[in-house]
Structure formats: C-alpha cells, structure tokens
Amino acid sequence: MKKLIISAVSLLVFIAFPAFAGELTNYKREDGLVSETVVSIAMDPSGSIWFGTDHGISRYNGLEWNSYRDTTIALPAEYINAIVPDVEGNIYFCTTGGVAKYDAPTWSTMSLELPGTDVESMVIDSRGDLWFATSGGLAKYHNTKITDTFTLSNDSDIPSNFVKQVVLDSFDFFWLATSEGVSKFDGNEAFVNFSELSHLLPDNNIKSIAVENIEGGDTIWIATVDGISSFNGANWTTIYPTDDGLIDRDVKYVLADYQNNKYFATASGVSVLTKTGSWLRYTKSEGLVDNSTLTLAIDNSENIWVGTENGVTKIGNNAIISFNQIQYLNLKTLAYVTVNDPVMNSDSSSIETLTVTVTSDTDSTGFSLTLKETQSDSGIFSSNHVGEELAFNYTASDEAARSLHVSKGDAIYASYSEDDTGKTRSATAYYNEEAPFDDKLFIDAPCFIASASYENSPGEKGNFSGNVVKKLLEFLPFLK
C-alpha cells in the first residue's frame, strides 16, 4: 500500500487582505436562495449571512440554507430593503411595508408610527436608539416608540421626504441619502445639505452612502445615478466613468472595506477603487453571477458579498499564508511558515504573535503552531523567529501526533488569530487527489505541504524525488 508523506515545498493559502485575487463563488435559487433578486445582505453575530430579496429572506450558515416568506413568519412585506443586526443578536428587516424583528426563535412585526410605510434602511446609534429612513422622512425610535420624525411638513431642513439610506460616521453624525441630495444631521435639528449645484454632486438622486474610517477623520463616499462623489470634510471629489475607472455611472451601492478599498455596485458590474488609487472590476467575464449588481456587504473574514438581479456572488479575500521550502534531505525536513497580513498588526510598537490552526474534514483535531512578527509594525509573522529548526524524522509516533490527514475531496480549514486581541481570520482549501497518489495525504505541522516520499511496504520509505516535487506542485489545493 502506498502512503504519501509530505515534506517541504511551498504553498500559498489565500485568507484576508483586499479581495483582489479571491475566487468568486455564485449562489442561485437552486443553491438555496428564496429569490435571485437580492437587494440587501448582512452577517449576524453568529456568522450566518442573511439575504433580503424581492420575495422574502434567506439565511446561509456556510452549510445549510433556510428561507422565510410572509406566509410562514410575521413579515409586513416580502421586499427586503435592508437587514440590520444589533449587538444583542436581534435582526431587523426593513421592508416596503414596515419593519420585522427576529429575536431567535421569534419573528414579529414592529408596531411603529412611521412617516412612510416603505422603510428603506435603518441605523442604530451609540445610545441604542433606532433611526429609520423611510419614503416619508426620517424617524427616531427610543425605548418602545417613535419619539421624533423629520419631514418637510414639520418644518425640518431635511432636503426630501424620501430618504434612501441613513448611516453614522465616526463622530456620531448622521448622513442621509435622499432623492434631493445628501444631508449631514446632528441628531437634533441641524441639517447641513449638499446638492448637485452647490457641492459637486454628480446628481441629486442619491442611492447609497458609505463612511471610510481613516486616520485623522472620515471620508464620505456618495453613490448617485450619475457617478460618485467623496467628501473628506474639506474637499469634494467627483468620479465619472468616462474620466476615471468607474465601470458605469449608475451606481446602486457603495461599500468601504476594512482596508480602505471602495466597492461600487453598478448596472454593469462591480468597480473597486483600491487604497493605492488603482481601479479593478468584477463582471460576468471575471465570474460575477450577473452584471446588474444591487447591493454589497462584507463579512468577518473580509469576503465581499454582491447581490444582483440574478443571484449572489461571494468574492473571496486573499491575505497570504505561505509554507516555504527551506531544504530537505531524505526523511528530514526544515521548513518555515509565514503569514503576511497587515490587518493583524494591531500594535505598531511591539512584536506580536499569531496562532495558526489547521484541520480537515478527515482530521478535526489538526495542529496548531505559533508565529511571531518578524519586526514591529511589519504585519509579517514567521515561525523562523528564533532560528529554531522545525525538522523532525518521520516515525510512526510522529505521524500520528504531528500530521494532518486529508482524503480526496476534503476541505482543509486554516485559521489564525492574534494572541493579543483574539482577532481571527480563516479560509478553506480543497484537496483533490491525483495519480500516482491513491490514498491518504499526510500534512506535517511544521512544513504543512511539501515534497513526497513513498512507503512501498510497512517500514520501508524511499528517498525524495525531484519529479515527485514537481508533480505535487500541480495538485496543491486551489483555495477559495
């Protein structure tokens, strides 16, 4: 019986960073969506992804799908404009007919005296009050009732009764996307309004607003039917598709990720403005499920979710874990493991540590190892931090205790966490067995994946072969 034992070659495992080389995964009705027109997406505290559609709600926990219609739960309308989880685990669903609340396992329709029945979005402020953007104005919900409304008819300075979205910046100011421009609101009575004519908005019909949190202040990104504007508190910038990298001027939604990259959902696909100022795009040609994109969301692993008129696409992220070959000699291997992820660099003044854990469908125990930052503020973490040799000889006892078993078709799960903050990132790889290797794969903890030797009969191991190394490189798991 042949046994494949793995020593050191190199492998890249894509995990975090901006999602510019990540794999695209599409989901449609046959996968579990209640409808393929997806207009809102959010992740709850448990990690489940919720999808609001034109015909109800779907939830995906990574393994199973559940769907909810107005025939089965208390849902005022099936068109779900927005989904907003709170810190207590409740989830609010803004619909064209009011607001539903999910307090597991109970669904209810909130009794609200709103200025408009079409509830477009909602935000929760630092005091725990709920603010609803509606087709008839803005409303504040305090304790158990609506306490304040802001409309044209009650002498507020709101620019329009139709409020498409309400968001909060880092200074607790509200930003309103309306049909007549953008408004900055202090939460009491002061509105500062920005329009196409006075402040370089490409159009007054505002579809979405995102807040980019950067050192020294926020930048507000504004999506309109005719391009994008940004405002850093002092200066306005306007982006048009003919002059810049925007794929289409009709921008439905804008999202700023944790790395300060900006994503724009348009009628022709998704455009990405990176933090370095370059432009990228995702269309059907790159694997997007449909070009008519409607909404965007980001999860805790920094995957980007794109809702379209024809399903959902997940754009995988791509920070790098590398397991690099140093040298090998017969059955002894010397290898180092490296993580390159600036997000984990939370303290620029100290050398930090990461704990990496790897498991598989076959081997749920797996292994863990600790990495140290190569120097303060580098964001690069290596097992080669004190020069120790990570080599060992393969023996029966070593294999049981220090190897990861993976069978054909297995998913391999890699995750790592920062020891100081507990911040965790993760990714999934898949092992596809190929000739001449026909049974189990063993992955050693210090080396992870590497070259191979054979065991033609019990206790008889062969030497490493350069040809085998080349072959192994061809079937390393493709990561998503």
Please check the confidence at residue 357 and state whether its pLDDT lies above 80: no
- Last residue of one domain, picked from the residues 273, 288, 314: 314
Q: Let me know whether 177 and 309 are in one domain.
A: yes
Is the residue at 19 inside a domain?
Answer: no
Please check the confidence at residue 331 and state whether its pLDDT lies above 60: no
- Last residue of one domain, picked from the residues 244, 279, 314: 314
Q: Let me know whether 328 and 303 are in one domain.
A: no
pLDDT at 403: 54
pLDDT at 318: 52
Q: Let me know whether 96 and 133 are in one domain.
A: yes
Distance (Å, rounded) from C-alpha 299 to C-alpha 292? 22
Distance (Å, rounded) from C-alpha 380 to C-alpha 352? 10
pLDDT band at 108 (very low <50, low <70, confident <90, very high): very high
Q: Let me know whether 270 and 248 are in one domain.
A: yes
Distance (Å, rounded) from C-alpha 109 to C-alpha 95? 11
pLDDT at 460: 34
pLDDT at 339: 64
Please check the confidence at residue 112 and state whether its pLDDT lies above 80: yes
pLDDT at 459: 36
Read off φ and ψ for residue 345, nearest 5 degrees.
-90, 75
Helix (H) or strand (E) holding 317: none
- Count the domains in the chain: 2
Among 219-228, 230-239, 241-250, 416-425, whose mean pLDDT is lowest?
Answer: 416-425
Residues 284-323 have pLDDT tens digits of 988 899 999 999 999 877 789 999 999 999 997 654 443 3
Please check the confidence at residue 337 and state whether its pLDDT lies above 60: no
Question: Hey, which residues does 229 pair with through a beta bridge?
Answer: 222, 238
pLDDT above 70 coverage of the chain, percent: 66
Is the residue at 341 inside a domain?
Answer: yes
Please check the confidence at residue 121 and state whether its pLDDT lies above 90: yes
Q: Let me know whether 309 and 324 are in one domain.
A: no
Average pLDDT on 41-64 reads: 93
Higher pLDDT, 445 or 191: 191
Q: Let me know whether 447 and 412 are in one domain.
A: yes
Q: Let me know whether 236 and 360 are in one domain.
A: no
Q: Let me know whether 309 and 359 are in one domain.
A: no
Among 111-120, 131-140, 286-295, 417-426, whose mean pLDDT is lowest?
Answer: 417-426
CATH classification at residue 288: 2.130.10.10
Close Cβ partners of 17 (under 8 Å, ≥ 6 residues apart): 259, 302, 317, 318, 319, 320, 341, 342, 343
Is the residue at 259 inside a domain?
Answer: yes
Is the residue at 10 inside a domain?
Answer: yes
Q: Let me know whether 213 and 86 are in one domain.
A: yes
pLDDT band at 420 (very low <50, low <70, confident <90, very high): low
User: Widest CA span of the chain, in angstroms?
Assistant: 88
Is the residue at 324 inside a domain?
Answer: yes
Higher pLDDT, 320 or 353: 353
How many residues are present in the chain?
480
Q: Let me know whether 126 and 182 are in one domain.
A: yes
| Domain that includes residue 369, residue range | 4-14+319-479
Is the residue at 161 inside a domain?
Answer: yes
Is the residue at 122 inside a domain?
Answer: yes
Q: Let me know whether 459 and 329 are in one domain.
A: yes
pLDDT band at 217 (very low <50, low <70, confident <90, very high): confident
Q: Let me know whether 225 and 344 are in one domain.
A: no
- Last residue of one domain, picked from the residues 314, 340, 362: 314
